[in-house]
Amino acid sequence: MMLSSKLRLFILPTINTIIFLWILTTTGLINSSMAVASPSSAATVPPGYSSEVIQIKFREGTGLHPLDAPFPPNLNSSIANINPLFSLSEERLDKLRLNQTTRSTQKLPNLNMWFQVTLKPGTDANNFMENLKRLDSVEIVEPAPLPAPPSAITPNFTTNQGFLNAAANGIDALFSWITPGGNGSGVTIYDVEYSWNQTHEDLSKANGVPFLLNPGDSAIDPFNDDNHGTAVLGELVADNNTKGVTGISWGADIRLVPAYTAKLHYNPANAILLAVSDASAGDVILIEQQYPVCGLPDYGPAEWLNSVFDVIRTATAHGIVVVEAAGNGGVNLDQPACGSRFDRTLRDSGAIIVGAGGPPTSSLDRQRLTFSSYGSRVDLQGWGQGVMTTGYGLFYSNPDTPTNRDFWYTATFSGTSSASPIVAGAVANLQGIAKKRGLLLTPTQIRTTLVQTGSPQLGNTTQHIGPRPNLRQAIAEQFSTIYLPVISRIYLYRN
């Protein structure tokens, strides 16, 4: 074998007999039983560790330098070379051990006892380590680690996000992005719900964001899950990069508002109010909640509750745009059982209520999906199925760490839960453009513009869920209207 300059093994051809006798008498260093372990009795080298390089720590207190103690012949013949594990000199390592600061009173290990053995090709590493462990002079034997390969890089899934595309298939977020402010920059979106994974690789905007809570309170996830909110955030603010998905409003900021807390329990009305008190005019509050409505067990908009209605009305009166899921109960909100609570002429909170329509990949493009609640009070629709976003792991998980939720993606997020963020993103982008121009659109202006310029509902329009937003047309309509008087005056003046 090849030996380092620090080795002092007495392996000289002229004194083989002496060495052999010395080995036999050194029972304090070498166990008398040196039978070679069978490969079948040894544990396998674990994944991520070398089967060619072994790290050894010799036992302190033997009275001999570890390298003065030869390995038995059956091990010696398998060694290609042996070197100290650490590159500093023995003197430097001793100084580090003996001259420790007062920060620790514990005895430090002797790093000079660590060595690294490279085995000859074909050597059974498991067998070799099992025999090393039988030596009284050896304290620790372990395979050397291998460099960890980088985790698989998540592919780019934006081509699966059809809702980003041009109308009528999508909302044309791609067009809004090339317009200054059209990525939602300058706007904060408040997500009222739960079940967020803030460490997801594609949600840097949510990483470390504190929950919006009363002092001394804490968030509770009633479903003990972290997928639903994660999927919503992916639609809204997923990072604009070369992997995963991209949020509709990737330039916006995000705030997380738990609807369920330790002290207040399930109290969405208070959660919305906390968002109102924190937000500024032009910001967006997304309400991902639904309640049984109209005396039925089926779900409709959260503003069925008068407390929620009053808080939403307060929000919109302060210039904050509220986007609210219509609910997944398939309820006709115009039926007599609902009274006047969804009669816009008598009770209008100012919120944008969103129904679930079929995506263009289905046979129900822009038609009401059967689970979506509907009625004249519902303003707009978003994709209610087939939404590609973060969370769940049904479409993609990292092949190296498939249980790591930070790399989970789905292509089947659905319901008014998936539809509402699409509309909220359209709102944020339209408002971002206005802010970039020194303007501020009111909740009514945004709602009216998106409804009037959207891609019309198809199918049975008596079950009303409204059009799908069309940002290209909304931008043209809203901002040409704003600047048209200026252009007209210039034109008239020049003539």
pTM of the model: 0.76
- Report the chain's mean pLDDT, rounded to a whole number: 88
Q: pLDDT by residue (tens digit) across 187-245?
A: 999 999 999 999 999 999 999 999 999 999 999 999 999 999 999 999 999 999 999 99
Q: State the pLDDT at residue 39.
A: 41
Q: Is the pLDDT of residue 183 over 50?
A: yes
Q: What b-and-e string marks burial along 54-75, b requiring 16 or more CB atoms within 10 Å of the CB?
A: bbbbbeeebeeebbebbbbeeb
Q: Is the pLDDT of residue 336 over 60?
A: yes
CA distance 289 to 327: 8
Q: 133: Cβ–Cβ under 8 A, 6 or more apart, which residues?
A: 141
Mean local confidence (pLDDT), 150-163: 94
Residues carrying CATH 3.40.50.200, the chain: 158-486
pLDDT category, 8, cuts 50, 70, 90?
Answer: very low
Q: pLDDT by residue (tens digit) across 78-113?
A: 999 999 999 999 899 988 888 876 566 778 889 999
Please tell me the total number of residues recorded for the chain in this structure: 495
Q: Which residue has the tokens 């985790």?
A: 151
Give SS3 for 67.
helix
In Å, how far are 130, 262, 263, 468 from 215, measured between CA atoms? 58, 12, 10, 40
CA distance 422 to 443: 17
CA distance 107 to 267: 56
Element (H, E) at 424: helix 416-436
Q: pLDDT by residue (tens digit) across 366-383?
A: 999 999 999 999 999 999
Q: Is the pLDDT of residue 70 over 90?
A: no
Peptide bond into 148 cis (omega under 30): no
pLDDT category, 150, cuts 50, 70, 90?
Answer: confident
Element (H, E) at 412: strand 409-413
Q: pLDDT by residue (tens digit) across 261-296?
A: 999 999 999 999 999 999 999 999 999 999 999 999
Q: Is the pLDDT of residue 490 over 50?
A: no
Q: 160: Cβ–Cβ under 8 A, 6 or more apart, which residues?
A: 245, 388, 395, 411
Q: State the pLDDT at residue 2.
A: 44
Q: 238: Cβ–Cβ under 8 A, 6 or more apart, which residues?
A: 202, 203, 244, 245, 246, 247, 250, 389, 390
Q: Is the pLDDT of residue 493 over 60?
A: no
Q: pLDDT by residue (tens digit) across 454-479?
A: 999 999 999 999 999 999 999 999 99
pLDDT category, 73, cuts 50, 70, 90?
Answer: confident
| Side-chain half-sphere exposure of 430, counting CA atoms within 13 A | 33
Mean local confidence (pLDDT), 161-186: 98
Percentage of the residues of the chain whose pLDDT score is greater than 90: 76
The class level of CATH for 158-486 reads: alpha beta
Give SS3 for 363.
coil
CA distance 152 to 110: 39
Q: Do the beta carbons of residue 143 and residue 53 sit within 8 Å?
A: yes
* Sign of the CA dihedral running 132, 134, 136, 141: positive
Q: pLDDT by residue (tens digit) across 310-334?
A: 999 999 999 999 999 999 999 999 9
